[in-house]
A and B are shown apart, each in its own frame.
Chain A
Amino acid sequence: DSGVTQTPKHLITATGQRVTLRCSPRSGDLSVYWYQQSLDQGLQFLIQYYNGEERAKGNILERFSAQQFPDLHSELNLSSLELGDSALYFCASSVAPTPGEKLFFGSGTQLSVL
């Protein structure tokens, strides 16, 4: 158990809908990262928050947004969903503000857009 908790484990929805994925980092970790994993693209970095502030942005679509709350949990919001958004979404956490320290990953949320 990595200590990172993601909910829900599975999510099935329709195109055009909006969903929210939730992540609770390990106790004491201030950084939260979101990654998207698909068969053809591998693990793609979406966005990072550190202590409530956006720290780095990767290949995140404008339809996607995230935030980190004062209790350090994070939410990833995906809107106007398309079939191609079906993927595994991982959250990871670390103590440091940079990814130079090893990340601890949650078990992921499997999103299926039908």
Chain B
Amino acid sequence: GESVGLHLPTLSVQEGDNSIINCAYSNSASDYFIWYKQESGKGPQFIIDIRSNMDKRQGQRVTVLLNKTVKHLSLQIAATQPGDSAVYFCAEVGLGGSNYKLTFGKGTLLTVNP
């Protein structure tokens, strides 16, 4: 089966609150992780990435944390806005056979209430 999974399938937050979306992975050899956002009717859109030699990376209102000890990845969204409502996917890049593969988790639906 897939090695990447999400703890929470749905998350509902109030506008202005911080959101945390979690992801577990099982392939300890994965060396690159990516968060994607998918809005209704659109394809996944890159948000932020992190290499396995880092434990934290910050973007604009988003932070990704990587805990290799427990194989856990999280996406933090500060001051969540209605426009952040979407499905969020974590994905990992690791060697699968002779080629690198990008494997997606199932996704978490984030709903932001005004």
Footprint of B on A, CB under 8 Å?
Answer: 2, 4, 33, 35, 42-45, 48, 55-56, 58, 90, 92, 98-100, 102-108
Interface residues of B (CB under 8 A from A): 2, 32, 34, 36, 41-46, 49, 89, 93, 96, 99-107
Report yes or no: B46 in contact with A102, Cβ–Cβ below 8 A.
yes
Contact A58 B101, CB 8 Å, known A100-B32, A102-B34: yes
B44 touches A42 (CB 8 A): no
A-B interface pairs (CB < 8 A), number: 58
Alpha-carbon distance A9/B74, docked complex (angstroms): 32
Residue pair B100, A100 in contact (C-beta under 8 Å): yes
Q: Which residues of the partner chain A approach B89 to less than 8 Å between Cβ atoms?
A: 42-43
A33 vs B43: C-alpha distance in the bound complex, in angstroms?
Answer: 13
Contact B99 A55 (CB under 8 A): yes
Contact of B49 among A56, A102, A105 (CB under 8 A): A102
Partner of B43, one of A44, A55, A98, A108: A108
CA distance A56 to B100 in the complex (A): 8
- Nearest Cβ in chain B — how far from A20, in angstroms? 19
**Residue contact B104 to A42, C-beta cutoff 8 Å:** yes
Q: Which of B41, B43, B102 contacts A99 (CB 8 A)?
A: B102
Residues from chain B with a CB closer than 8 A to the CB of A107 are: 41-43
Q: How far is the CA of A33 from the CA of B45 in the complex (A)?
A: 15
